[in-house]
Amino acid sequence: MTDSDADAAPTFRLAYVPGVTPGKWVRIWNERLPGVPLVLDATAAAPAPNALREGRADAALLRMSQDREGLDVIPLYTETTVVVVPKDHVVVAADEVTVADLADDVVFHPLDDTLEWERLPGRPAVERPATTEDAIELVAAGVGVLVVPQSLARLYHRKDLTYRPVTDAPASRVGLAWRADGEPGELVEEFIGIVRGRTVNSSRGRQQAEPAPKVKARAKAKARAERRASASPSSSSSGGKGGARRGRPRRRS
């Protein structure tokens, strides 16, 4: 590392997988750390863990069903699972469906599927689509249906398709991940606090939101003020001015 690299301003690199929307957390970051740019990296689900292992990202928002070897992950939220169907499909008449309701349908299982099935629903397709986006195109063509996290159904929304919740399908959990080799860095800790809802007035948030030199300067100023107060005659244990008068000898008449 050169001197110029060491003096460069810090940058926080955040990867995120399709369907995850980090916008709210990015806004909070920019409010609290305006001097530290947050660089977003939209990445496909499969390579997201390697972006952390190879140092191309400091943290990643990913689905917890993905490969997590060598990573620390905290769960953030659980998504609703839905079935994506053409608008004229029979399940559209219901508010929600079960896996059994899809038994007669061809249900696509794309190679980038993030749901952990014990047993795949419906009838298998002749060939697995490469991506969820490819599977959506096949659903629009009337070939079959697709079960995905709701965020992906929204991401690949089409006017000719709709979706319904599947009450007994596996749920997808989204988490925040970072490399597990050692303690998280200060910027990772800061982002963990943001996604967990830690306020700027919390002990960790306050310490990290304010630069260390200012914290030390204020602590020194406070210490000086306390020393001056303790050295003042009015703060002596004899009781201030009243105590000083009581301690004087009486004047003879």
**Residue ranges matching CATH 3.40.190.10 in the chain:** 3-78+173-209, 81-170
Asked if residue 94 has pLDDT above 80, the reply is yes
Average pLDDT over residues 95-102: 96
DSSP 116-135: --SS--SBPPSS--SSHHHH
Question: Any idea which of 1-5, 29-33, 37-41, 206-210 has the lowest mean pLDDT?
Answer: 206-210
Asked if residue 28 has pLDDT above 70, the reply is yes
Share of the chain above pLDDT 90, in %: 67
Average pLDDT over residues 138-150: 97
Please name the fold of domain 81-170.
D-Maltodextrin-Binding Protein; domain 2 (3.40.190)
H or E, element range at 242:
helix 240-246
> Can you give the C-alpha Rg of the chain in angstroms?
30
State the Cα–Cα distance between residues 226 and 211, nearest whole angstrom: 23
Cβ neighbours, 10 Å, residue 52: 23
CA 173 centroid distance within chain? 12
Asked if residue 203 has pLDDT above 50, the reply is no
pTM of the model: 0.72
- How far apart, in Å, are the Cα atoms of 74 and each of 64, 71, 177, 195, 211? 9, 10, 7, 10, 27
**Cα dihedral sign for 114, 26, 176, 183?**
positive
Q: For residue 161, which of 126, 193, 137, 180 has the smallest C-alpha distance?
A: 137
Residue 38's SS3 state is strand
H or E, element range at 82:
strand 81-86
Average pLDDT over residues 127-144: 96
Provide the pLDDT for residue 141.
96
Q: Confidence band (pLDDT; 50, 70, 90) for 223?
A: low
Question: Any idea which of 164-168, 221-225, 244-248 has the lowest mean pLDDT?
Answer: 244-248
What tens digit of pLDDT does each residue of 158-176 get?
999 999 999 999 999 999 9
What tens digit of pLDDT does each residue of 115-124 get?
999 999 999 9
Please name the fold of domain 3-78+173-209.
D-Maltodextrin-Binding Protein; domain 2 (3.40.190)
Residue 85's contacts (CB-CB under 8 Å, 6 or more residues apart) are: 91, 92, 139, 145, 161, 162, 163, 164
Torsion of CA 157, 158, 159, 165, to 10 degrees: -50
